[in-house]
Structure 1
């Protein structure tokens, strides 16, 4: 390590790599910097052997938070797949692994003393009473696969240790008070077991429901009131304290003291009381019609919560999500953890980061740009929150790569998110993106930079797991977009305009962004991806998405090109006998597909329309 680095790289993670006749030298501002310098060297080495040109590389990260979130709660992932993800994150200098370990559909970590969390909350089967498991969800079927599974305590410790050796911080998330159905159902089973054994006090210790609550509420993903743990019952606070203590101990054993606890905090609401619905008397044809008088806010009819209102401890149930987040911050701080993180709805209503007990409060900001993300993200940053951009329209990797019914993915925030779109993201000047990409309907929108300039902590990609039913589907959707994410997290491009208050951006209307420079930069990135990185991913066993051919049919045959230079393409007249396509050829063919560099995997076959 060296303190003699130039000022612009004398920051955590900064390094200097010298390759000369006398050998290789890596200097880093810190141990992480030395590691990143070594990763750069390894990245320069040809796969088939050979030397590396003499050069000096001086480099440093753009952001301290360069993250990736993997949702193992909805559909579990094998530890080997997560380790493979960690390897690739390290290779491309991402340093925060956000593990989404619990949700309505599953609980994925063994907690000593609470066996029901994994015995029931991590399994799915046809048990209508849910005394042995959760009901089948997300297409998992009755046999518990691929939806079921969990990390044992020992496996989690080893995973954290594995990440620590690669300078990656593991950020565990246990979502609450909403998205908590797996925990609620599991703790109800614990309650019944101990109550039947004549131990009522022990049974109630970690109970997460008010048994008298009759609130009629529907979550964003259409679960009933058991999707929310109840902040008004003492079992919820005790459960969280137990959970934080146990996970913190696991991190200590792994050699990575827990630095950040992700509380979750998102979507604690009744979706039927949201903007998409109206009362039965409403006449808006674009909204659903329901009887609003029969709908409750979460915990609206909970006697335990009504008692808190009567005592003057809260004014109404709307305050409960923020109050519980503040309680969580006290518990987290009590374990010596410096940072509590939450999705932005988890801190909604807070005046600033100082409303929480931890030294730092991190906000994972997931508004879309066309719904006001530029203003919202700046507001959080300027209120003292460490703000990490998780913009769904650019950084959610559960959306399809292209607008095609054969492509897997949700579409509520983006109709298509390919690697170019991720690469084109300008995080420091969010309004700029409105000049480059349309909204989720493919329509232009305008954004004016009206907020005060803000310094963000970083960005991260999200791989939500509802439609990633197995590990191969996860890797298909994560790669190669992860590489474009890593590029923007580490490096600020010359075509990213500086933020300036009062500027307006809109696709097809304003012409402030140097799109020629953006496209030239993309061509360089795509060339490296096609000629070098794709083969490295294959060697590592990563099942990345193969690029689809772009085919132009003509009178004398069809020509084709791929998203990346060097990508292999094939064609067929009948969809069975496949031949390699050579750039520039004109061929008579109806079916086209991509092929991996090693020839072992083929992409989805598409037929030319009209044939």
Structure 2
């Protein structure tokens, strides 16, 4: 971001020590916070002063409604700025984009910014201060302070995969509300995949009449039963273009940009099921329900056929019209290229374009689709893949496997967005793998806090920002969607916004704990698996299994049992030494406490599972 290095250095030098000792656990923490000695009481007598520019009246009314809801009383708006016990909004043209200054004095509150987005972010900080006070059960008396703050990155995103499971417009609106409270500004929607096409394209109606529906299935994603003969495809849904327009307006009011993704040329079974002629095999297909049950499925489009590009151009044309975002994501990852190897049309394209192989054919396809996006006045984004032939330098690279792709692309002059899987993927499980049904691997809360959007060697000027990505194979409903996002979303908010010196993990976790009650007030589900004890096993002498217990959160006491009873604080306490398993024990059960209060669920693991981990 502009002036990033200056801001980082300046904030490090002047960040007031009171910010960490203030008892104001803001997320993300602001660049600078200076405390005073007096205070201001916020109540039903507080007024909101309208800015001179009436164009911003809708935004200020939105602020008024939020404040009224928190105070449970009506709030008046006035036209006298800087009056006593008022909240005023001031334009200061010399402020950086999205930056704000929040001043609370014994007389009033003033939020200054160069544009309304800055007001909005200052308002979120102000509302956090009020809500945190409410949760403490104190009077809403705010300490005199001055906050100067600006974002570290322009892209602070969360991605939702709405293909594997469809989430209604209302669910997305509630998700946007929570995003906005923590200064996220991009909602990336993965709209298409093998399991469903979620966007109305009027020129291609089968995409939603066929591609948006699959046979209903419930349970673990892997090994899902194949459709029975004549079974109806009734599970799914899609967004009409009017839905999208409504959603875009809602998000814009909260300064969130919705970025659409159409995943091509792989992950395209829903597209192929709708129009089989775009595939190399041209055989009828069904939209997937779960993991692949048909090895002969065709989930890749034929990239040698010009008619494929005609349909893609129709899709991109309509997307460009209904999404005001300057970005369109075109996918590009995990392509099964063997179809192209066996397709005479694709092989003819290789010869015609002077390409060497199917790997270069993929580069040709991505570049051709990117040109369509650029022709519509948009910027293409693609998942980073290592391809033999270079990609158009205008394609923003979204680095997902690790950080190496972002480093490489940034040095080549390409813009990059970081979402390294092992640090930012929100579908990865948060607790012990034996107890969870999420695929792949673990990304614990403390691990996600380690995410560094500026890894060593990266060209900083080409980094747009980063995001958390939530694939939804095992996320069938809104409560699980929330559970997988929060509180890991707090760590992403901190890492993508804050230019202040990074807090230690224990200090930042104290802030997280302060915000958990706010999620409850908002009826937003969240994971508390970070309180769970973590059990590891190793091989000891004579092939015995030795157990070690750790915690993600400092200051927890762990109690355990081997006798198949549920432990509490009166059971044996783990003392940090390796535990030998008593003869005859079938399970270990552990529970964590903090200040004599149970914090975790009771984790029960079979000894047989631990023997596997010890490789016995």
8 A contact 1:140–1:146 mirrored in 2 = no
Aligned length: 471
Closer, same or farther: CA 457–310 of 1 in aligned 2, 3 Å? closer
Report SS of the residue matched to 2:157.
strand
| Aligned equivalents of 1:268, 1:151: Cα separation in 2 | 26
Q: Kindly indicate whether residue 75 of structure 2 is the aligned counterpart of residue 17 of structure 1.
A: no
Q: Which residue is equivalent to 1:479?
A: 486
Specify whether residues 212 and 110 from structure 1 end up closer, same or farther in structure 2 by C-alpha distance, changes over 3 A only: closer
Corresponding position of 2:188: 98
SS in 1 for 2:467: strand
2:122 is paired with a residue of what secondary structure?
A: helix
Give the C-alpha shift of residue 541 in structure 1: 1.6
SS of residue in 1 equivalent to 2:141: coil
Deviation at 1:474, TM superposition (A): 2.2
Q: How does 1:302-341 map to 2 (within 5 A)?
A: 302-337=343-378, 339-341=379-381
* 1:408 to 1:568, Cα distance in 2 relative to 1, 3 A: farther
Give 1:408's aligned residue.
437
Shift of 1:146: 9.9
- Kindly tell me: are residues 606 and 211 of structure 1, through their superposed partners in 2, closer, same or farther at Cα, counting changes over 3 Å? closer
Q: 1:565 to 1:50 in 2, by over 3 A?
A: farther
In the TM superposition, 1:105-124 aligns within 5 A as 105-124=195-214
Matched, 1:177 2:217: no
User: Following superposition of structure 1 onto structure 2, how do residues 416-431 of structure 1 map, counting pairs within 5 Å?
Assistant: 416-430=442-456
**5 Å matches for 1:362-441?**
362-368=396-402, 373-374=403-404, 376-411=405-440, 415-430=441-456
SS of 2:481's equivalent?
helix
Question: Kindly tell me: are residues 139 and 541 of structure 1, through their superposed partners in 2, closer, same or farther at Cα, counting changes over 3 Å?
Answer: farther
Equivalent position of 1:209 in the other structure: 279
Does structure 1 conserve the Cα–Cα contact (< 8 Å) formed by 2:445 and 2:530? Answer: no
The SS at the match of 2:340 is coil
1:345 alignment partner, SS class: coil
Cα offset, 1:479, TM superposition: 1.2
Q: Which residue does the alignment assign to 1:265?
A: 332
Q: Check if 1:80 corresponds to 2:170.
A: yes
Tell me, yes or no, if structure 1 residue 522 matches structure 2 residue 505: yes
Conserved? CA contact 1:184–1:227, under 8 Å: yes
Structure 1 unaligned spans of 5+: 128-135, 189-206, 214-219, 252-256, 271-296, 354-359, 431-448, 496-517, 554-559
Matched, 1:232 2:304: yes
Verify the 8 A CA contact 1:123 1:144 in the aligned structure 2. no
Q: Which residue of the partner structure matches residue 91 of structure 2?
A: 2
CA distance, structure 2, for counterparts of residue 452 and residue 87 of structure 1:
33
Instruction: Give the drift of 1:234.
Output: 1.9
How far 1:168 sits from its partner (Å)?
Answer: 0.7
The structure 2 residue matched to 1:606, chosen from 600, 603, 610, is 603
Q: Equivalent residue of 2:435, what SS? A: coil
Paired with 1:156 and 1:24, the residues of 2 have a C-alpha distance of 36
Q: Which moved more, 1:73-82 or 1:304-313?
A: 304-313
The alpha-carbon deviation at position 545 of structure 1 amounts to 0.8
Structure 1 stretch 301-310 or stretch 241-250: which is displaced more?
A: 301-310
* C-alpha deviation, 1:594, in angstroms: 8.8
**Whole-angstrom CA distance in 1 between matches of 2:224 and 2:363:** 34
Q: How does 1:463-502 map to 2 (within 5 A)?
A: 463-492=470-499, 494=501
Partner Cα distance (2:232, 2:603) in 1: 33
* 1:298 alignment partner, SS class: helix
| Distance in 2, Cα, partners of 1:333 & 1:396 | 29
* Cα deviation 1:189-218 (Å, max 9, x = unaligned): xxxxxxxxxxxxxxxxxx4124579xxxxx
Is the alpha carbon distance of 1:566 and 1:381 closer, same or farther for their aligned partners in structure 2, counting shifts above 3 Å? Answer: same
2-structure distance, mates of 1:348, 1:96: 31
In structure 2, which of residues 240, 245, 254 is the aligned counterpart of residue 152 of structure 1?
240
Match of 1:340, SS state, is strand
Would the aligned equivalents of 1:395 and 1:462 in 2 still touch at CA under 8 Å? Answer: yes
Q: Structure 1: how far apart are the matches of 2:225 and 2:164?
A: 10
Q: CA deviation at 1:404?
A: 3.0
Distance in 1 (CA, whole Å) between partners of 2:296 and 2:313 is 25
Cα deviation, 1:80-113, whole Å, max 9, x if unaligned, reads: 3222211111111111111000001111112213
Name the counterpart of 2:611.
none
Give 1:303 shift: 2.0
CA contact (8 A) 1:340 1:361 kept: yes
- C-alpha displacement of 1:460: 0.6
**Which residue does the alignment assign to 1:361?**
395
Contact 1:265–1:347 (8 Å) recurs in 2? no
Q: Residue 312 and residue 146 in structure 1: after superposition, are their counterparts in 2 closer, same or farther (change >3 A)?
A: closer
Distance 1:169 1:153 in 2: 16
Preserved contact between residue 107 and residue 122 of structure 1 (Cα < 8 Å): yes
TM-score, length-scaled by structure 1: 0.68
Q: In the aligned structure 2, how far is the partner of 1:316 from the partner of 1:113?
A: 33
Q: CA deviation at 1:587?
A: 5.3
Secondary structure of the 1:458 match is: strand
Shift in Å, 1:534: 0.8
Structure 2: gaps (5+ residues)? 1-89, 284-290, 536-548, 574-587, 608-616
**Residue 403 (structure 1) shift:** 3.7
Task: State the Cα distance separating 1:493 from its structure 2 match.
Answer: 5.5
- Where do 1:129-168 residues align within 5 Å? 139=224, 148-168=236-256
Of 62, 66, 70 in structure 1, the residue corresponding to residue 152 of structure 2 is: 62
1:265 Cα shift?
Answer: 0.7
Contact (CA 8 Å) 2:163, 2:198: kept in 1 or not?
A: yes
CA contact (8 A) 1:68 1:97 kept: yes
Q: Secondary structure at the match of 2:158?
A: strand
| Residues 1:39 and 2:36 aligned together | no
- Determine the C-alpha separation between the residues in 2 that align with 1:606 and 1:333: 52
SS in structure 2 at match of 1:226: coil
C-alpha change, 1:246 and 1:608, in structure 2 (3 Å) is closer
Once residues 567 and 30 of structure 1 are traced to their aligned partners in structure 2, the CA distance between those partners, rounded to angstroms, is 45
Distance change (3 Å), C-alpha of 1:74 and 1:126: closer
What's the RMSD between the two structures over aligned residues?
Answer: 3.9
